[in-house]
A and B are shown apart, each in its own frame.
Chain A
């Protein structure tokens, strides 16, 4: 697939900024009578204070507990009574809140997001309630299942040394229990300014009318300075690091191998070849590692490669990573698999055929387009593109940018993934086999 034949989504994008610093993105598309409203705050797990692991996520829960004109559980009730759905999610570098409604609910969603942008109504009681809910979330997703949180919870500590980069963003129960209403207020004061957020609206609406509604509801949100993001960078590894842990409910050995990669924002051109490389290695039965590890050698039962801890190459800052993770048949030695991965990376480093690269790019383009099928996905992607890349419209060009990645640059990227620079996390299956 050549760059010229990679299709791009065909919706318009308008961008503007309010006096209080709120950046606004409008992407009208009358295709279906629904509208999505997303607000992304430029703060994630990396910014939570020491002793308060998991706080960014806990705070996201607190943003649903009511605000100036909205009581507890009323945000959900208002959205659902308009026939809509809502959610929020906390990531390494951002937190988003999103609503999808029939298009007649646009003003309601804008009102609700503006109301909590002025501050959530946090009490001892609703904080204690949500600490309990978050613990149950962690039990369901991490503690009570095999491979819970693998590898994103424990891998950062193998790769990184600073608190910001290395801690468990889901949080320890001790830290969650220690959270106070005052902590929430200072987190809000520090990071939830309008000038640290992007509002994005996608779907069936009139842009002129939406602009007026945005002004009406968000225009008088207090102007506060945006936080200065500290540099999170730290030195690359110079020698391999390995950690392992026993997972009592795991039945298969598993490994995650990770390397530092160029900064997805400030070194985008150098970063993109790693995104293509990930697909070339593990997307589908024609990919290098699936063919070799699963089908030829039978030393893996599943394998996946991606950039950034949460597989969101266009919604992350540095320092970040490329990860290859594999589940192995019982009894397989991890060094065998590591050795094979090294061999395959060296092979890629020796050169990639254009035909193979074109196939991979076609699939990457289709997957990016699929993310735009729903206006909810679209509004979230546009907002994070504005946050991280300073231009929502770049979200419609990611497929084309990946299309410009050359075979030489993919080979060069693979050649940087050497054993000395890698961090390895191993899961040792527990006693249940």
Chain B
């Protein structure tokens, strides 16, 4: 019986594909990448939409497929289905994004459908009303989900009057949207200027480029590009308790400052976050899950959005251990500076980070998503190679400096959602508590 854990074979160097890139005369930026594997194509389209009305943008996204001047919703759906295709859309404070896929042979047809929708979506009153009531129904369910509830309060607490402070419309806001507002938003914002189309799959880039030009070359109109203000610095303050009577768990959320991908400290921040709570072998998971059994998925992540970055630690724990779990979470956060990661801890996280890049770019959909996410921050896919080199150079001293600067409970914003009657007292130990 072998009993020595085998080492690794020589590392296969990271090899990132380079998309073929062009900008159509109408301003649409197109990135195409041939990636054989399965005979499919993945499509991502991002249209800038800062400072749009959230409810209107959500309804536009839901009803974009509801009909054009010449085709019914059913006809549109049949055309997509016939090529094994599907398209969906969603809105966030920065953009309206479409995402879809089809058999590779059906990509030209999917692009034609996409072009028809962008150029001639008509938002017919009947189907629009259906989507509107479905959104309201969906919100009524979402508003019972702990994660949705706590995020709404956290966004508002962190970002206040910035558009990021209100990222989910209310049912009343959705109900108040008129068809004219959706049509007006489409007319003013659904334009190729500043938009980005990404296609990855088993495609011929030249033929696909021609198909894109044919389908979207005459997509036009004048946009009203508006930038998004940078996110404000998070301001620490009292712990916020969101009462959810009868909740059998408490959702703990601790947000603290982060720097952007382009900041010199980003590589160290990436690794510090991993060590703290960003992967299974992290301190947070080993403590809260594998030692104490307080929660199923303690985690921490860095969110890089176009107007700014934030780190967020999260765990849902049984109501009766709310206080002890939050104490451990804060202690681990503080511990990142007080008990700096050892060289072994750092190397483990570094190897994981380097491997993750390979894993995330190993599929058609993964590459399409990564190109899209990085492009939203103005970075090319090749940035991953530079970032990987920077990860290799991070020292324990870098980690310690980054942790001391930002991983500090006193600079954090803490929101706890749970059964107020059961947990209020245990939270008082953490200082002032503000109830919502």
Contacts and interface: CB of A to CB of B under 8 A. Distances in A.
Partners in one complex: yes
Interface of A: 1, 7, 9, 29, 31-34, 68-70, 72-73, 76-78, 80-86, 100-108, 111-112, 118, 128-137, 139-140, 143-147, 204, 216-217, 220, 248-252, 283-287, 291, 294-295, 298, 301-302, 327, 329-330, 358-360, 362-363, 365-367, 369-370, 372-375, 432-433
B61 interface: no
B10 to A, nearest CB: 6
Contacts of A102: 11-12, 355, 358-359
B248 A285 contact: no
B296 A366 contact: no
A92 B347 CA distance: 39
A174 to B, nearest CB: 16
The 7 A-B residue pairs with the shortest CB-CB distance, nearest first, are: A83-B355, A132-B293, A366-B84, A286-B77, A285-B77, A32-B362, A104-B9
Given A73-B290, A252-B140, A369-B38, A136 B134 contact: no
Contacts of A329: 133, 137
A164 to B, nearest CB: 27
Contacts of B8: 82, 104-105, 107-108
B145 to A, nearest CB: 6
Nearest to B102: A366
Interface string B94-117: 000000011111100000000000
Given A33-B12, A111-B6, A82 B355 contact: yes
Contact of B15 (A33, A104, A105): A33
Contacts of A134: 296
Nearest to B364: A373
A33 B8 CA distance: 14
Interface stretch (B213-221, B234-242, B279-287, B404-412): B279-287
A368 to B, nearest CB: 9
Contact of B145 (A136, A146, A298): A146
Nearest to B7: A108
Contacts of A251: 137, 140-141, 143-144
B167 interface: no
A86, A327, A359: most-surrounded residue (chain B CB, <10 A): A359
Interface string B78-105: 1011111110000000000000011111
Contacts, number: 245
A136 B85 contact: no
B74, B247, B280, B291: most-surrounded residue (chain A CB, <10 A): B280
Nearest to B356: A83
Contacts of B36: 31
10 contacts: A29-B37, A85-B356, A101-B359, A135-B318, A140-B297, A217-B2, A284-B77, A287-B77, A329-B137, A366-B102
A136 B294 contact: yes
A399 B354 CA distance: 36
Given A284-B81, A302-B134, A373-B363, A147 B141 contact: yes
A181 B279 CA distance: 28
Nearest to B250: A144
Q: Is the interface of B mostly helix, strand, loop or mixed?
A: mixed
Given A32-B363, A139-B318, 17 more contacts: A31-B36, A80-B279, A80-B352, A108-B8, A111-B2, A143-B248, A216-B2, A298-B133, A301-B138, A362-B103, A366-B101, A366-B102, A370-B40, A373-B37, A373-B364, A374-B362, A432-B144
B291 A129 contact: yes
B36, B38, B39, B130: most-surrounded residue (chain A CB, <10 A): B38
B401 interface: no
B73 A295 contact: yes
B interface, how many residues as a size bin?
35 or more
Interface of B: 1-12, 15, 36-40, 65, 73-74, 76-78, 80-86, 101-106, 127, 130, 133-134, 137-138, 140-141, 143-146, 246-249, 279-281, 286, 289-297, 316-318, 347-348, 351-356, 358-359, 361-366
B80 A284 contact: yes
A100 B130 contact: no
B141 A133 contact: no
A370 B358 CA distance: 19
A30 B247 CA distance: 49
Contacts of A7: 39, 103-105
Contacts of B12: 33, 102-104, 204
Contacts of A31: 36-37, 362
Contacts of A217: 2
Given A139-B249, A252-B137, A146 B144 contact: yes
A130 B293 contact: yes
Given A216-B2, A366-B102, A369-B38, A85 B144 contact: no
A407 to B, nearest CB: 16
B40 A362 contact: no
Contact of A291 (B2, B74, B291): B74
Contacts of B102: 366
A223 to B, nearest CB: 14
Contacts of B80: 284
A9 B291 contact: no
Nearest to A252: B137
A104 B11 contact: yes
Given A104-B11, A285-B77, A144 B355 contact: no
